[in-house]
Amino acid sequence: AKPPLTVLVTGAAGMRQIGYALIPLIAKGAMLGPNQPVIIHMLDIEPASQSLNAVKMELIDSAFPLLKGVVATTDVVEACSGVNIAVMVGGFRRKEGMERKDVMSKNVSIYKAQASALEQHAAPDCKVLVVANPANTNALILKEFAPSIPEKNITCLTRLDHNRALGQISQSLDVPVSDVKNVIIWGNHSSTQYPDANHATVTTFSGDESARELIGDDKWLQTEFITTVQERGAAIIKARKLSSALSAASSACDHIRDWVLGTPKGTWVSMGVCSDGSYGVPPGLMYSFPVTCDKGQWSIVQGLKIDEFSREKMDITAKELMEEKTLAYSCLN
């Protein structure tokens, strides 16, 4: 049998339940495959320690065959020790009436501390996925304060937005979502993100066809499609009275699975990664790009044609990320 991999989930006891939705998926093999045993480390803060222990009890009670160990802790060093995959769901949420800077400041200090803990205690090839918002900027801080972790090993989640975009196209054309591929989320996991369907295709009887041509309504693609994806998180909150949990958890599994096990041939996915300057995005920013993955490494898809409409949208979200970066750095002083 394969030796187990250790997966860390921070913020595992969150009342809004991403952790609660994510942990059983990991234990069932949705993240690392049905033949990969796992050990799950769960971290949360002291006030959540009772509910964290409850999750551990339920994990034990579920008797998941792949689950070879569970650690529930409020000690960041214990949580990070020997971790192969770190999924960072923990963070500070904006409370009513709080300034943006105060929220950023809390998250900067969390991500700075957790960067050091991962750097010192995780497995040397540890792969990191930041889910907690502001996801791109939290990942940026983690990258800057964990210089010994290879830059390529630090990413943030925009796969939920990517999956939402696939879902909208599938609904609009009334085709199974598995027949739709190669949408792109550019930029920030925020309302400035640019969901781009220009290169998306749909599998039909006669091969892969352009989603844009099949939809035949550029106006919809440039307006409602974009805003629906951008504002989907808010729509879920309105309807559920809580933020997206099952779809966020499922997308986090998709992100890690494709990263570790590879993307299918001819398919790309969206991941927030460190820009190398591709498509004119400032190097060093954590920006969502189309990527393919092979042997545990992602690479940005090159050579896509970018029209003027797209260019403008890609720049708006880059600008927001630069502002977030400046704000985050101002919190360090």
Q: Quick check: 19 binds ligand NAI (CB under 6 A)?
A: yes
To ligand NAI, the closest distance from the beta carbon of 193 in angstroms equals: 10
Q: Provide the CA 133 distance to its chain's centre, in angstroms.
A: 10
Full DSSP string of 33-69: -TT--EEEEEE--GGGHHHHHHHHHHHHHHT-TTEEE
Site string for ligand NAI, 124-163 (x = CB under 6 A): -------xxx-x---------------------x--x---
Site string for ligand NAI, 44-83 (x = CB under 6 A): xx--x-----------------------------------
Q: Quick check: 175 binds ligand NAI (CB under 6 A)?
A: no
Look up tokens 């569970």; give the residue.
Answer: 70
Which residue, 45 or 306, has its beta carbon nearer to ligand NAI? 45
121 carries an active-site annotation: no
Degrees, nearest 5: CA angle 79-80-84: 120
Q: Quick check: 310 binds ligand NAI (CB under 6 A)?
A: no
Spell out a b/e string for 132-169, using b for 16 or more CB atoms within 10 Å of the CB, else e.
bbbbbbbbbbbbbbbeebeeebbbbbbbbbbbbbbbbb
Q: Quick check: 15 binds ligand NAI (CB under 6 A)?
A: yes
To ligand NAI, the closest distance from the beta carbon of 130 in angstroms equals: 8
Q: 194 near 321, Cβ under 8 Å?
A: no
Q: Which residue in 41, 121, 162, 189 is the catalytic one?
A: 189
269 known ligand binder: no
284 known ligand binder: no
To ligand NAI, the closest distance from the beta carbon of 191 in angstroms equals: 12
For residues 170 and 294, what is the distance between their CA atoms, to the nearest angstrom?
27
